[in-house]
Amino acid sequence: MRTSSRIRSGFTLIELLVVIAIIAILIGLLLPAVQKVREAAARMKCQNHLKQLGLALHNYHDANSNFPPGVSAGFYFGGYGPDWDRRGWPVFVFPYVEQDNLWRLVDNQAKALAAGTIGGYTLFFNGKETIVPSMICPSDPNSPKNTTSGAATPTDGGAQGAHTNYVGCVGTQLVTSTTADFGGILYGKSKTRITDITDGTTNTLMLAEILLSPDRTGHDTRGRMHNAIHGGSSFSTLYTPNSTVADYPQTYCQTIVRAPCSSNGNINGTARSMHTGGANIGLGDGSVRFINDSINPTLYLNLGTRANGEVVSNF
């Protein structure tokens, strides 16, 4: 008499659930590691962008014997001008970050405005929406940004063009006037020379990163480089990186995660980033460092001045 046996194939329900559980655990372990690697890569790319901009500023200095103005017209207080020229320092380094064509567009318009052959402002030119890769940080979820809330035409509060995640140091104080020297390298109408940085270029902050607003409820001046008169391309060392104290981008802003703001008519920006624990900064010698949020406030304040004679310790 022949007996037959049945060969079992496949998984039981319990075995399948065990496999799914193991896969879920592995994914749970893997995702944070992937996120850390991704953020490390973004942070490194952000640092490389700051390095490029620091080098571009030095190349500008070599060609012009001074660094560009922090804001060409000065900040928007009484007596600022000329009204049509609102360019921030990032625009002036376009030729040194492989953006010669973009520079020619805006510079030709600036010359035409100065000659009186056209009217308007330097922020309203063909090409202003062009994203310059070295001007943005990949860690900022709201960058790149090249539009403005509810505006597609060049009217008051209208399209402001591409924004930047990198800002220049005006010094150590709240900005309350058009062209006052607040001790930094890039302030209103500044023409700072390397020889003016007597504290040493390795001890003086020149650049830092900020976070951009997606303009959900109104337009936000932070990061503006074609219309920098409200301080959009500037910061100070008044408060340490990622401070909970609000930014003061003059009259236009909205609070977002890690970047609170208040409209009070004055100007102050703070270094901000989505990097864990701090923000990237660029020094006057072109080098780039990562500054912890917990840095000694007095030490950080002293880094904002170029010629105050403070002794700066290791940071």
**Residue range 64-92, pLDDT digits in tens:** 999 999 999 999 998 787 888 999 999 99
Domain presence at residue 4: no
Domain presence at residue 105: yes
Domain presence at residue 181: yes
Domain presence at residue 308: no
Cβ-contact 202, 227 below 8 angstroms: no
142: which 2 tokens? Answer: 């709201």
Q: What is the model's pTM?
A: 0.86
Domain presence at residue 221: yes
Range of the domain at 226: 13-303
**Residue range 187-240, pLDDT digits in tens:** 999 999 999 999 999 999 999 999 999 877 678 899 999 999 999 999 999 999
Our CA dihedral for 91, 96, 97, 98, rounded to 10 degrees, sits at 110
Which runs of consecutive H residues, i.e. helices, occur in the chain? 13-64, 89-92, 100-115, 297-303
Domain presence at residue 311: no
Nearest to 160 by CA among 240, 225, 110, 231: 225
Domain count, the chain: 1
CA distance 15 to 131: 53
Cβ-contact 189, 72 below 8 angstroms: yes
pLDDT over threshold 90, residue 20: no
Query: Cα-atom radius of gyration of the chain, to the nearest Å?
Result: 24
Domain presence at residue 195: yes
Confidence of residue 147 (pLDDT cuts 50, 70, 90): confident
Domain presence at residue 1: no
